[in-house]
Amino acid sequence: MKTLFENCRLPLSGGTEFCVQHEHFAHVSPPFDRTEDLNGAFVLPAFPDAHSHLLAYALSLLQADGAACRTAQDFIDAARALSEERGLGPDALVTIKNAETLPPAQPLDACPRPIHIQMRSGHAGLFNAAARALLGLTDTAGPLEETAYLSATKRVPMPGEKDILHAFSRAQRDYLAHGMTTAQEGFLSREMFPVYEMLLRENALLADVAAYPSPADYDEARARFAEAERFSVAGVKIFLDGSPQQKTAFLREPYTGGGHGAPTMTMQELGDACRFAADRRAQLLAHCNGDGAAEMFLDALARLSDRERCAIRPVLIHGQILGDDQLDRMRALGAMPSFFPAHVRYWGDVHLKNLGRERAERISPARSALERGIAFTLHQDTPVCPPDPLEAAACAVLRRTAAGERFSAQSIGVLDALRALTEHAAVQYADSRKGRIEAGKRADFLILDGDPFRETGSVRVRETWLRGKPVFRAADTAENPPTARSRAPG
């Protein structure tokens, strides 16, 4: 079947028509089996997800939403409501996501139901006494941050297979509904191995999933998923610091009020991770929010040979606080930044308080990267923010905080933002099949419901096509919309 799509607008490649034959784009040359008139709609390549946590997002759909909770009783009520909704027993652990603040521990400890509260950033949380007893946590009363918190969350049991399958189906639908046909598992922990093996047995994957375990789990992951279809162990993931909104990102200069944050790896451990990836020719993703963490990563890359750096195709994830000197080093070392511009929208006002105006206004310095000819990508770090690349693009262009402040010095144009979501994302994965609408590439594309240049921030995905077939149509889901919609203020 050879289909001509005509009367459309292709802002990245130019032209008004394209052709799909079977699973790939084809040259526009007759004869055609059918023709589809797109009535002037904008068409983009589908989005390869530059960074997120797909399974964590799926699991979050089984959790209570704590965004509106402020008191301990609010959280207890949210836990009770979810328990009733899902038919959970009184001893079942309830996780409450998206908390903007953590309540005092004492009232929660008095509640007999096990409750786990997670801050929206995913970098901090709280377990009440019943949850600590259930999970065997000791010496953990009160809030936990970073490594201590992430270690504790590994004890939280996975839901049953039926619940996981249902939640994963919803999560995958949301990714597809927002134009992502490649999803990332941005930290594949050992606890996730049996979950993905089950999902693969059930043929649950429609989109491609690229997974990044730690160096400690990489070899086993490669062996266990060697024959998997639509699931690849694409590289290695490491964490060098925390988050600036929690004041745990590692900075070169102190936060307002003092403190630099702290690295989560030593230089020895970082060097070992780089060599591990280079020995296996595995891509290396490094979580670096602060410029102190970024400096460590760049120092480690500088110690590698050109061949080793080429082998690991390093990606600096988040790069919230990067100096121009560091961007210059990144260009010289061949490191690619993946920015998280929604930080401006969700936490920009917090960054003003924690970092001061000069550094806050440079959060996700995409303009400085663009001026240096550095290819970069944009991401949402889902489930931290909704799986919505168009929101990432809007945040990179508008750079408006919840309170209405504009951090315009690092704004980029719409076309550059769209290129970061498509062509550059494919480059990040070194996947020559994706990222452009041209003959021979896989026919993954999306149709927008408006003009992304005139309706920045409000344009949505109308249709998503994967391997030449429609997998999402907004008209078909009008009564059952995607789960994820931006909840951002402003």
Residues 422 and 459 in one domain: no
Mean pLDDT to the nearest integer, 178-195: 98
Residues 428 and 446 in one domain: no
Q: How far apart are CA 79 and CA 402, in angstroms?
A: 28
Residues 143 and 75 in one domain: yes
Q: What is the CATH number of the domain that holds 405?
A: 3.20.20.140
Average per-residue pLDDT in the chain?
95
Residues 206 and 262 in one domain: yes
Q: What is the predicted pLDDT for the residue at 147?
A: 81
Q: What is the predicted pLDDT for the residue at 263?
A: 97
Task: Answer yes or no: is 159 within a domain.
Answer: no
| pLDDT-derived band at 157, boundaries 50, 70, 90 | confident
> Residues 411-463: pLDDT tens digits?
999 999 999 999 999 999 999 999 999 999 999 999 999 999 999 999 999 99
Number of domains present in the structure of the chain: 3
Residue 122 structural domain: 63-153
Residues 394 and 482 in one domain: no
Task: Answer yes or no: is 101 within a domain.
Answer: yes
pTM of the model: 0.92
Residues 170 and 140 in one domain: no
More confident residue, 432 or 482: 432
Task: Answer yes or no: is 56 within a domain.
Answer: no
Task: Pick the last residue of a domain from 108, 129, 153.
Answer: 153
